[in-house]
Structure 1
Amino acid sequence: MIHPSIEILNKVYGECETSIKRYEALSQQFMEHFNSEQMEFFSAPGRTEIVGNHTDHNGGKILAASITLDTIGAAYPNNSNIISIFSEGYENEIRLDLSKIDEVPINQGSLSLIAGMMKATTNSGFKAAGFNAYISTSVISAAGVSSSASFEMLICSIINYFFNDSKMSYIDYAKIGQYAENKYWSKASGLMDQMACAVGGTISLDFSNDVKYEKVDFSFSKIGYDLIIVNTGKGHADLSQEYSDIPMEMKAVANKLGGTLLCDSNLPTFLEHFKELEESLENDRALLRSMHFYEENRRVEEAIQAVADHNEKHLLKIIEESGNSSWKWLQNCYVATDNKDQKINLALALTEIFIKKIGDGSCRIHGGGFSGVIMSIIPKVETANYIDYMSKFIDQKNIYPMNIREYGAIHLDKL
């Protein structure tokens, strides 16, 4: 069977037994669907947001990382204008004729997303051409770990390698994915998801002047903790309005303060004009969300310093503060119009009881929020106990111990 080398698999995944089986199954499906043994392998991870919830779209700061759940693909050019993609678990082909890209309607799932990405690719001066691909993913869908961004960054790595001599940057990748989501999915997303999936490892992000990123030498595993994602059981695929409201409300405050984004102002200026903002906007939630933004930027800076100082206890405290701010100020732990459904808050409350009992750890809402997943940081010696405890309330198959992955969106054969 065809698969990446054992050396590369060990380098990316830290093992080869499970990953070989995944790639062998992937190559078998590629051969069955496209009747060819010519293929190259690609991978793009999901992501975790450590601190910096809903700040990217207003020019804020984030500490984020890629995770060990990933989307993988076998692909090869087909010397045509047709992009043909099959995905594990889906019967229908995603088929895009690049010569008819302007005829593709928006908001039509993966086809619209691919069309938007190819449009952004050529608009950015890069080349798009036809290819065949079979794709499989372990990234939890519609649950806050960026399954869509993982898919997008995988596609970018494919077109970068085959058609652009690897000249596209991670920022190019991210902007292509963002354009597709904004214009072809009507989703007001920022760049954080795409950047964290593309770059790999732990990174600090600053969106105040376009986007800047730096690698940060950090993983929870190195300091004796496990990163555990708990899926509360309800996806957030139908919450576009809730997600769009957050950046728009923040921008409304920024406009009143004479800027475009909240990064154009600061907390002292906001407080100085608080009463007039309150009276003119008549939207207390917008004010709370703006205060979350200013304080979250401060927490990101403190978290980066805590990592540099090897002060893990302070880092855990910052993560807890960030999560509490998301819960109380940002208000993205449940949908206001459906306040009887609070699965995120229940999972957080149950985890806080466990953490209080053992006297160590941290937890927070993870990702866009309103439903989906929470992130728990648990001492390795207590991970099994935490999983047993949470399994009393949530199906164990929805509890995912994982690590921060060093590699982002990659072509495995050229790693």
Structure 2
Amino acid sequence: MNTQEFKEKLSYRQLDGVLLDLYEDESLLDYQYQRYESAIDKFESLYGEGDFEIYTAAGRSEVGGNHTDHQHGRVLAAAINLDAIGIVRKRDNIIKVLSDDYDIPEIDLNHLEKVDSEEGTSVALIKGVVAKLKDLGYKIGGFDAYITSDVLIGAGLSSSAAFEDIIGTIIDGLYNDMAIDMVTIAKVGQYAENVYFGKPCGLMDQCACAVGGLITIDFKDPENPDVKHVDVDFGEFGYSLCIVDAKGSHANLTDEYAAVPAEMKAVAQFFGKDVLREVNLQDFLDHMDEVREKCGDRAALRAYHFFKENDRVPQEVAALENKDFPAFLNLVKASGNSSYKVLQNVYASSDPQHQSVSLALTLSEDLLGDHGVCRVHGGGFAGTIQAFVANDYVDTYKKGIEKYFGEGSCHVLKVRKYGGKKVL
């Protein structure tokens, strides 16, 4: 399709079916039409009129398995109806991307080697994705793209994973006929982030953003994670997924985040293992005194959280598959209580004066009453909370919580069936 034909379809609102299928929410149609119109206008101003294609990769929300993936545990995660979209056209041997207002330097496909000075940049992510796909034997090629994302940055919804996945999906669509499975796209994104970008991360974010829908992942074999769809329509239960931005800063929290896997690993090493997934719970309980003496009480608590949280994930999956939503909500609540009290990742121990997540959870519990449950979202310490709220109470909850954290701080989301996808 060319840009002028697409603009005509937008002006006559001929894409209702495509946008509803993708974003799951009729109330978002006006917003998405405006968003796509602005994106195609921007692409045309950058690269001119002509043929193009559109690709998407979703943001994600962790539903269960808080801080389990780095110990080769289980998680439950969902693609959400916030996404990155890319307006794209082929070109020879060069990748040129403008990402919202950020003008990323051109990448020459003859020079995909890792460059240390590029660590921490978008160039590193793009090069890492393309280099790994090439190493795996897939076709690669150049393109011009304008990418825009409404995945909230710093909110635990995986904006970086969505960016990595959309680059992989673009290469998949332009040069491989969408034949690359989305778990491979996720692994390639993780490789780019680990090796080229220089940030250690698990595979959960990339997998949830690429695969789509509600998925459970078992990382017992991290090189070959077991990814399964959970065939459930959240809408049938009459609840909405809300993410509340508690406005806390992630600055200076690296040590807090790093301490969680480090302390869990220390307990695993006490038993001669690399990760807690390899440790038996009863052995852990039988040697609690020695663990406390060797590793400390907080490490023991965090290990205990892992064992219980890892077992909760299949229970959550079973509850959803059995359509027992009250049981699922009770498990979400138990996960939140464990994260708060046992894992202890709702505020930074180095900065106890700032506890926005703790406050958001406390206020939400009072606001929700019997109308929903809440828990810390993502890595924790600052940022966002998650709430499952009865549909007929969403407006009340949104108005109540935004009184404390500001207008627009509560995002009402849908689980979408697609992760990485060619839209047009």
TM-score (norm 2): 0.91
AA of the residue aligned to 2:270: K
Cα pair distance change 1:182/1:318, threshold 3 Å = same
Amino acid at match of 1:139: V
The alpha carbon displacement at 1:103 in A equals 5.6
The answer on whether the counterparts of 1:143 and 1:235 sit within 8 Å (CA) in structure 2 is no
2:29 matches 1:19: no
- Per the alignment, residue 207 of structure 1 pairs with 219
Q: Which residue is equivalent to 1:164? A: 176
Gaps of 5+ in 2: none
**Out of 70, 84, 91, which is 2:96 matched to?**
84
In structure 2, the partner of 1:9 is 19
Q: Which residue of 2 aligns with 1:352?
A: 365
CA contact (8 A) 1:50 1:64 kept: yes
Report how far residue 37 of structure 1 moved. 2.1
Cα deviation code 1:166-225 (max 9, x no counterpart): 232222111111122222333221111111111111111111123011111224322011
Q: What letter corresponds to residue 337 of structure 1 in structure 2?
A: S
CA distance in 2, matches of 1:123, 1:240: 32
Q: What letter corresponds to residue 396 of structure 1 in structure 2?
A: E
Relative distance call for 1:137 and 1:144 in structure 2 (3 A) is same
Kindly tell me the number of residue pairs found equivalent between the two proteins: 408
Q: Tell me the distance in 2 between the aligned counterparts of 1:290 and 1:120.
A: 34
Counterpart code for 1:249: E
SS at match of 2:397: helix
Shift of 1:250: 1.9
Does residue 248 of the first structure (1) align with residue 259 of the second (2)?
Answer: no
- Asked if structure 2 preserves the Cα contact closer than 8 Å seen for 1:187 and 1:240, the reply is no
Give the drift of 1:121: 2.3
Match of 2:231 among 217, 220, 223: 217
CA distance in 2, matches of 1:233, 1:149: 22
Cα deviations by residue, 1:236-271 (Å, 9 ceiling, x for unpaired): 366444333322322222222222221112311211
State the Cα distance separating 1:232 from its structure 2 match: 1.2
Q: Secondary structure at the match of 2:112?
A: helix
Corresponding position: 1:321 with 2:365:
no
2:190 to 160, 178, 190: 178
Task: Choose the corresponding residue for 2:294, options 274, 280, 284.
Answer: 280
1:386 partnered with 2:397: yes
CA deviation map 1:15-53 (0-9, x unaligned): 444322222211111111112422100111111111111
What SS does structure 2 have at the residue aligned with 1:397? coil
**Contact (CA 8 Å) 2:114, 2:128: kept in 1 or not?**
no
Letter in 2 for 1:394: F
Aligned partners of 2:104 and 2:123 also within 8 Å = no
Distance 1:238 1:107 in 2: 19
Sort the Cα spacing of 1:265 and 1:120 in 2 relative to 1 into closer, same or farther, 3 A: same
For residues 155 and 323 of structure 1, the distance between their equivalents in structure 2, rounded to whole angstroms, comes to 34
The whole-number CA distance in structure 2 between the counterparts of 1:124 and 1:339 is 47
Aligned-partner SS, 1:203: strand
What code does the residue aligned with 1:140 have? L
With 117-126 and 166-175 compared, the bigger mean Cα shift is at 117-126
Equivalents in 2 of 1:249, 1:57: separation in Å?
A: 12
Q: Deviations over 1:133-160 (max 9, x none)?
A: 1011111001111111111111111011
Pairwise CA distance, 1:10? 2.6
Residue 165 of structure 1 deviates from its aligned partner by 3.2
Structure 1: gaps (5+ residues) = none
1:148 to 157, 160, 174: 160
What secondary structure is seen at the aligned counterpart in 1 of 2:113? helix
Mean alpha-carbon deviation: is it higher for 133-142 or for 326-335?
Answer: 326-335
Q: TM-score, normalised by structure 1?
A: 0.93
Deviates more, 1:159-168 or 1:399-408: 159-168
Paired amino acid for 1:89: D
1:223 is aligned with what amino acid? Answer: F
Aligned to 1:257: 271
State yes or no: 1:266 paired with 2:276: no
What is the root-mean-square deviation of aligned Cα atoms in Å? Answer: 1.9
- AA at the equivalent of 2:373: S
- CA distance 1:212–1:103, change in 2 (3 Å): closer
Does the CA-based 8 Å contact 2:130-2:168 persist in structure 1?
A: no
CA distance in 2, matches of 1:130, 1:239: 38
TM-superposed deviation, 1:404 = 0.8
Q: Match of 2:320?
A: 307
